[in-house]
Structure formats: C-alpha cells, structure tokens
Structure 1
Amino acid sequence: MAVAPSIAAGAANALELRGLSKSFGALAALADIDLVVSPGERRAVLGSNGAGKTTLFNCITGDFRPTAGAIRFFGEDVTAFPAYERIRRGLRRTYQISLLFGGLSVADNIYLACRGVSRGRFSMLRPRRDDALVAASEDLARTVHLSDVSDRRVADLSYGQQRQLEIAMALAGAPRLVLFDEPAAGLSPTERRNLVDILTGLPSHIGYIIIEHDMDVALRVSDRVTLMHNGRIFKDGKPAEIEEDPEVQALYLGGGEHGHS
C-alpha cells in the first residue's frame, strides 16, 4: 500500500510545526512559526521573556490549542491531540515549576515516573526486585548523576539535584523527544556544568528541545539554535553562527540576557 506523500515527507522529522500561531485575545503570543526538528536532534530555543518560548512548548505538548497551524510528531498530525496522547507517542517535557513528590525518595520518584508511562501503571502490586521498571529507574538515576542519593528524600535534595531528578523523570519510558523548560534556571556554575554533562551524555537517539536563558549552556548542548523575538523566529542556525551573528549580539547580548539570569 502506498504511503501518502505528505506523511512520507513528514515521517523523517521528529517534530514539524507549520504556520503555528497562538493568540490570547488581541495578543499574538506566536505568529506563523515554521520549525523542523530531526530525530535525535538537540535544538535550543533562545529569547528574552515574552518572546513566546513557553507558549511554543505549551502548544507542542497539547497544554494549549494553537489558534492556527499544524503540529506533526514523527509524521503524525497531533494538532488536535490531548497532552496524554502525545505522551503515549513519546513526547515528554519538564516544567519551570517543580512537580516532584518531596516526601518520597529519589528512587521512588523515578520509579513512579516509569510506572506512569508503562502498561502496568494501574497495578497495585508491590514491585519485585527484578521488576524491569526498577532496573530502568536505577539506570535513569545513573544517567542524571543521582545514584549516590537514590535513597534520599526529595525534600532533602539541593535545588540542583531536584532539577536533575526532573530530567530523569522526563526520560522515563524511552521518550523520542523531550522538551526541557529552562533546566539551568537558578543553578550555580558548578551545577550548570553538571547539567551540560548530563544533557550531552544522553543516548544519541533521544532528541530534545531546550528553552534556555543561559546562552553558554544552550550553545554547548545543542546542534542547532532557534532565536525567538516577539512571537516569531528571528534567527536559526548552528551554535557558532548564532553566537557570531551581529544582530543576535545586539538583541540578545546587548539586552543583558547573556549568562546567569
């Protein structure tokens, strides 16, 4: 059976946004966004507050319904899909506000995240030690450098460790694309270096889009950078091209956005 050309053309892309717009009354938060992300690609989305970055994420994840345009995820049109259907297809995200269980251990938080995206998520049976999800949870703790505190209560972790845990939970269930919403916000320089190590060390098949204020972090963890301004895409290119672009320097670096914010 022949595959429709539109699906065949889009199947090569992890994410494809076409003419994506979102308005809140008279305010156009997003205006005619076209964006293509390949499988396994690491994309940074930069821009000052109000540029439309978080609204873009909310439309991609299904938290917001776009006013116009289309969203394709691995070739499938998901524009009208609720958030949970996108999660089932392998889309994950972190949020700026922590969504962790403070009274539980690191290991329990990661296990629950793995359980929540598995087929047996409604089972009330206690997991056995050879439970595949327990092993997956331990692997994720290693991936985000939290193995040595896996038994510690989340409420007792440092802020940076809590952000690492959020990354582990977003990686549960073998996602195909992860959206990281300002993971470096509030981190110390040492914690930021650790974050860069975690993100660059992820398996190559896991692609991600990272919204970030810290240009140093963004340029080090991405293959390609998209700069937004006033709800539109202002520039798009490789990290070195973006860093050296005079217009980017005038808008972004001149606006005091460089480094810690």
Structure 2
Amino acid sequence: MITRFEELDWQETPIGELTLRRRTEPAVGQEIYEVKLGDEYLMSSLFTVAEEELSNLGLAAVDGDDLSVLVGGLGLGYTAVAALRDERVSSLTVVDRLGAVIGWHQRLLLPVSAELVEDPRTSLVEDDFFALVRTAPSEDHRGYSAILLDVDHSPRHQLDPTHADLYTAAGLRALDRHLAAGGVFALWSDDPPDDEFMVEMHAVFDGAAAHVVDFSNAVTGGTSSNTVYVARSRGGLEATTGAAPRSTS
C-alpha cells in the first residue's frame, strides 16, 4: 500500500520546478502518475486516450512501411509507446528538452517505461524540439514519415513563449522540411479546434483536419475532450482520417 501522495522525483529545470509523483485516485481506485511544473499540472496517467490517439491518428494517415517517426515531447511516454505498437515503425526518435524526463524512463519509474526503453527501435534525445525543427535538415536526411508533437497545451497556450513561432505558417514550413514526401504532421491540443490555427495549417499542408477526441473523465463523471490535428506534407496524397473520433476541418 502506498501513501496518498508519493514524490518520485523533483528537479529544478530551465522552465521551472518539475515534479513526478504517484498517488491513489479514489474515483478509480488505482495508482495515478502525475507531472507538475511549479504549481501547474502538465499531465496525468489517468487521461491518456488523446495522447495515444495522437499516434494512432497520425500514423493511420501515413502510407507504406519502414516508417521513421519523430516525437516531440516524451512526458509519461504514452504517445511514444502507442507509435511503437504500430508494426510498420522501424525507428522512433523522441526528443525532450528536459533530461529529467528522459531519466524517469531510463530508471523505469513509469508504467510504460520498460516497453519504451527496451525496444531497440527507440532513441531518446535530450534537445529542444522547436530549435531542432527551425534548423534545416542535413542533405542526407531522408525525412520522417511522421512528426508527432505533444509539448504545449495548445497552439495558443505554450509552456514557453519561444515556441509560438512554430504555430505560424512560417514555423510550420520549417517543420515540413523535416518530413518525407507525403509525411504526416500530427499535434495534440488541450483546447477545442482552433479555426485560426487551421488557416495556418491549410497554408502549408494538404488534408489538414482537427479531430476531437472524447474520453470518459472518472473524476468529474462526465466526458472530456482534446484535439488532435493531422495533416500531410504537400506532394503526397490527402491525409486519411480515422472513423471513431469526431472530426472538424
């Protein structure tokens, strides 16, 4: 039996005090892992449906096999592990700015850590994803089949104001240089679909769509929603869409 709250790790980071804790959640009667940045809750293992759908919807839109996937933001690891469960994925690179988060998984502190780090397809890289995609890729880079991003709360609510340029047409064009022909960009957001951001997406990508992913909220007893944006790099076929979540374009 564990205490109601158990702090597994605390570290000072460039963006604030980062805490990983485990607690019991009476509403569901199970252990929950949570990440806080200062006094702000970043993520919880109680709600992982949309994080997994980021991978599922993004990779469903990619044609072919031997997929190379880049994930921006490691967090609790659910997006990355969902990508690994697609047998077409041959390599998975996960970039996180915070070495502390990578260390959690290397120390096997989280429920999916072993599945993630023990898979030979996985590479965990400590780097700034946003700085990385601003930089032109090397000439011999083949391009990623998919880039899956889950760092900020939404295109309008960033953890760091320096991220804001990515959510403009210019920033998305810079990211697009890292995709293979017909590759897919997918983005998680905590906000409802954003019409102004969709204008930026349509300016750069083909088949851009905003999928509303609903999931049961055991704490409130109701339904909560996140958004997953999916779009295909120009030059490829239009992005395919999943049937289960509601879609708004």
Compute the TM-score of the two structures, normalised by the length of structure 1. Answer: 0.32
Higher strand share: 2
Compute the TM-score of the two structures, normalised by the length of structure 2. Answer: 0.33
Higher relative contact order (CA 8 A, sep 6+): 1
Higher helix share: 1
